Amino acid sequence: MADPREARLRLIRSANIGPVTYRRLVERFGSAEAAIEALPGLAARGGGRAPQLADPGKVRREIERVERLGARYLFLDDDAYPALLAEMETAPPALILRGDLSLAGRTPVAMVGARNASAAACRFARLLAHGLAEAGASVVSGLARGIDTAAHQGSIESGTIGVIASGIDMTFPPENRELQERVATDGLLVAEQPPGTEPLARFFPSRNRIIAGLALGTVVVEAAPRSGSLITARLAVEAGREVMAVPGSPLDPRAQGCNLLIREGATLVQSVEDILESVRPIDSRAVRSPVVAWEGGPAVDADDGDRRQVEDLLGPVPVAVDELIRQAGLPSPVVQTVLLELELGGRLERHAGGRVSVMGA
C-alpha cells in the first residue's frame, strides 16, 4: 500500500505550487492524488504547461531521511496541526518536527529582535522568556543570534519552540548547534524546508510567517526600522494577532523599530504581566480545532468569459483578491478557480496580504 504522505509531498515540492495553491487544490479535489491528476487540464486553461511534479523517488528519499533524523511530518489536514497557524492563508502544507508538539497549544508567544542586540536587551529578553514559560506559556522564536537566542535560553527549561529557515538537520548560526539540539530534545523544533536545505536568505521571510502564525502575539525586543523582526510583526498584524514592543532609548538605532511600533499602536511591554494581559483574552483560539476544508465537493469551473473578465482586471501591480472579486462581479469560487489556473500555468504571482498580479503583463 502506497504511503499517503508521498502524494502530498509530491504536490508540495512541485514547481509553481505554494501553500495557497496547495490548499486550493486539495480543497477543490479532495485529495493530493486527485489534484495531481487534474493539474494538466487546469494549467492548460491558465495558458501554460502543467507544473513539473516532484520526482517520486526523491520524495521517498526525503521521507526516509526525515525518519532517520528522528523527525516526523505534520500535514495541514492532520488533527494535531496547530490551530493558530492553520488560520493563516499561507499556512505551510507540511511541517517537519522534532520534540513536543503540545507546546504549540500552550499560550504560544513569539519573541523576536535584533541579531546584534545589546547586552541589556538580551538579558531582558531572557528574563521575559523565563517568566512567560514559568507562567505556562510557550516562547516561539527563530534560533538566530541575539534576541532569539536569549528567548530560547530563558524558556528552554519550561517551554520553547524554535522555527528554523533550513532543513531540520541544519544549524544556523553554527554556534547555536547545542542550543538547537536542546530545543529539539526539550522543546519543539519546527522546519518547513526538506532536510539538507541550507538557510538561504529567501527562506527567512517564510520562517518568520510561521513564527507569527504559531503565536497569539509577537513581542519585539530591539529592532532596526528595516529588519526581519518588523517583518514578523507585520505578519502578526496581518494574521490578526497582538503586536507588543519593548521601548528603548531614542539614541540607540536598535530601539528605533520598537519605538516606531509603539507609536503605531503596538502594546508597550515592560513586564511578563503586560504580555499575558494582551494575549490571554484571545488564548482560547490556541486550543480550537483548525478550520480547514478537505472534504472536496463539486468542482467550480469557470468559462472563457469568466477567464477574460478576471484576466482583464489583472496587471503587473498587485491587487487584493477581495477587490478583484468585487470588480469582477463573479462568485468568489469562480474567481479563485481562474487564479488557480493562471498560477498553475505560470502566469500569476501571489504577494503578501492576499494580493495577486500577472507576470509579464
Q: In angstroms, how far is CA 361 from the centroid of its own chain?
A: 29
Decide if 87 contacts 213 (C-beta within 8 A).
yes
| Mean pLDDT value across residues 213-219 | 97
- Cell numbers representing residue 226 in the block: 528595516
Q: Which residue has the higher pLDDT, 131 or 52?
A: 131
pLDDT of 65: 97
pLDDT of 149: 98
**CA 147 to CA 332: how far, in whole Å?**
42
pLDDT of 213: 96
Task: Give pLDDT tens digits for 193-209.
Answer: 999 999 999 999 999 99
CA-CA-CA-CA torsion for 82, 242, 221, 262, nearest 10 degrees?
Answer: 170
| Mean pLDDT value across residues 222-229 | 88
Least-confidence region, from 76-85, 88-97, 214-223, 307-316: 307-316
| Mean pLDDT value across residues 79-96 | 95
Q: Where are the domains of the chain?
A: 4-68+300-358, 95-287
pLDDT of 286: 46
pLDDT of 38: 85
**CA 134 to CA 128: how far, in whole Å?**
10
**Residue 64: count of CB within 10 angstroms of its CB:** 11
Looking from the CA of 134 toward its CB, the CA atoms found within 13 Å total 10
pLDDT of 290: 42
- Cell numbers representing residue 225 in the block: 526600522
Domain 95-287 in CATH 3.40.640.10: no
Strands 217-221 and 242-246: parallel
What's the pLDDT band for 299 if we cut at 50, 70, 90?
Answer: low
Q: What is the 3-state secondary structure (H, E, C) of 15-81?
A: CCCCHHHHHHHHHHHCCHHHHHHHHHHHHHHCCCCCCCCCCHHHHHHHHHHHHHCCCEEEECCCCCC
Least-confidence region, from 7-16, 55-64, 93-102: 7-16
pLDDT of 288: 43
Least-confidence region, from 27-36, 267-276, 284-293: 284-293
Q: Which residue has the higher pLDDT, 182 or 357?
A: 182
Q: Which residue has the higher pLDDT, 144 or 48?
A: 144
**CA 27 to CA 21: how far, in whole Å?**
10
Rounded to 5 degrees, φ, ψ at 138 are: -110, 135
Q: Which residue has the higher pLDDT, 84 or 328?
A: 84
3-state secondary structure of 143: coil
Domain 4-68+300-358 class in CATH: mainly alpha
The DSSP output letter for 319 is E
Least-confidence region, from 73-87, 271-285, 317-331: 271-285
Decide if 90 contacts 238 (C-beta within 8 A).
no
3-state secondary structure of 329: coil
Least-confidence region, from 100-109, 120-129, 291-300: 291-300
Residue 308, pLDDT above cutoff 90:
no
Mean pLDDT for the chain?
A: 89
pLDDT of 57: 94
pLDDT of 274: 96
Residue 352, pLDDT above cutoff 90:
no
Say which residues have a Cβ less than 8 Å from residue 110's Cβ, sequence separation at least 6: 139, 140, 141, 211, 212, 214, 215, 217, 218, 219, 232, 236
pLDDT of 293: 41
What's the pLDDT band for 287 if we cut at 50, 70, 90?
Answer: very low
The DSSP output letter for 194 is P
Q: Which residue has the higher pLDDT, 256 or 333?
A: 256
Decide if 219 contacts 269 (C-beta within 8 A).
yes
Decide if 300 contacts 333 (C-beta within 8 A).
yes
**CA 348 to CA 357: how far, in whole Å?**
6
Taking the chain, what is the end-to-end CA distance rounded to the nearest angstrom?
A: 46
**CA 237 to CA 240: how far, in whole Å?**
5
